[in-house]
Amino acid sequence: MIIRSLRNTRRLFTIARILAQEDALFIIDDLEISPSLSAICRIFTTKKPNKRKGQRLAAAIERLGPTFIKLGQALSTRSDLIGNALADDLAGLRDNLPPFPTKIARQIIEDEFQAPIESLFLEFNDAPVAAASIAQVHRAVTKEGKTVAVKILRPQIEQAFARDLDLFFWIAHIIERRIHSWRRLKPVQVVQTFKEAVFFELDLRFEAAAASEMADNIKRHEAGLSVPDVDWNLTSKRILTMSWVNGIPFSNIKAIKNSGFEPDIILGKAARSLFSQVFKDGFFHADLHPGNLFLDTSGDLVAVDFGIMGRLDWKSRIYIAEILRGFMQGDYKSVADVHFDAGYVPRSKSREAFTQACMAVARPITGKPLNEISIAALLGQMFSIAAEFEMEVQPQLLLMQKTMMVAEGVGRMLNPNLNMWELATPLIEDWAGENFGIKAKLKGTAESTQAIIQKFPYILTNIENTLKNLGDENGVKLHPDTIKLLNKERAGHEHYWLVFAWCTLALAFISFLALIMR
């Protein structure tokens, strides 16, 4: 414990010095981790008067390395923790680092597949096409003559993350012990969530699986978005190989506008695709910044980099749609009811006061012309009142809000006079008409009933095992008359499933009546 504290204190001093050099020591002051450390490091402070606090913090984070960049990106989705201003600035963190030597990249590939690189690829381009905090990408040609992008994890990245995560947990525990006002935000749980997310990014097989799942989903959608194919024979924990994308990155808006394709049509494809991912699939790309989205030669969109994905269960999708519809119709009581029914706001809070708060945050936004309305900003404002109403903020909703914000930003760069949600409105209305009301409630009831029925075999097995153990000579000792009675009951257990079935059907019918009479 002492060694750990000394190690982390030394690391914290290095961090504080970099924060001071970027004029971002305010974060240590706010966290109240070590006032004395902050005071000592002020001698390194370089004033940055023309930069906002969030910009100064982002600059320091980029200098602190991969783990901090990923943490900063994660915190950019938690406006409830750090506020909207800081969250917006951290969302712009640049995830690019100097590339590691190609010799090492080649060695990692050969170690993963236990074969010389010449036997795996016809060509392997030594110059990386991209280098981020966790991995870098090289262009290559497979033995079958297919051009591919080969993503390679940075060497010893796992050890670097483990060291920094230990520091984050150490700091989080200090904060929870010393700062009562921060306990509600559960800093240790925040770090744990971050650790779980990083786990998936440090195993490229998970990213390959996410890409494949999204590719399967979009086959059912209207054409307009595609996903590169995964080469599973050349994919492992540290290597991901996907088909090469020939297209214009959305980071080059000028080239997109000069491509010959109509910007409004491109924007419509983006809106429909994001809508389908969120509402139809409940599985969406949660890192759609301009560098991860391309326009291909046919005018369609291509998404890459599937390390950060979001999931929404059926109920969450219904709640989100009801919240958005309530806001757009000015029905703030409905918005409040949804938050309480979903359990996002404790029932001990005033429903009337929450309704008033919804109106307060929405009116300045929804009062604008439709093309100026930002759905992401609206959801962000809702999260801003989380603390006052002890609202339980859902991480997947925060991911979706940030994804919407990035999408809106790209859309406004293509055409500032057209809101992508205008283009998606007919789809949202059709989906709402199909899924709201009795049909949606019946679906929820049917899913619950099916889940119970699927458990019948396990219930019966548990009953049988329990009765067997009770009567066994090595089990619980019972009076002989009791054992006889149990054996008699056990002999007739084949009728139990009828009892469970009738009870379940009765409960389902009662639930159905209650739902349609609401």
> Which residues are identified as catalytic?
287
Residue with tokens 């201003």: 85
Task: Output the six-digit token pair for 397.
Answer: 């909703």
Q: Give the side-chain half-sphere CA count within 13 A for 306.
A: 26
Contact 267, 411 (CB under 8 A): yes
Closest CA to 74 of 86, 50, 56, 90: 90
DSSP 258: T
DSSP conformational letter for 230: B
Instruction: Tell the burial category of 165 from Cβ atoms under 10 Å away from its Cβ (0-12, 13-18, 19+).
Output: middle
Cα–Cα distance between 406 and 104 in angstroms, integer? 34
Supply angle C-alpha 91, 97, 98, rounded to 5. Answer: 165
Angle 359-83-52 (CA atoms, 0-180°, nearest 5)?
125
Nearest CA to 377 out of 394, 353, 359, 401 is that of 401
Return the C-alpha torsion angle 107, 112, 118, 119, nearest 10.
160
Phi, psi of 202 (to 5 degrees): -90, 5
What's the number of CA atoms in the CB half-sphere (13 Å) around residue 166? 14
DSSP string, 157-179: HHHHHHHHHHHHHHHHHHHHHH-
Number of Cβ atoms within 10 Å of the Cβ of 273: 26
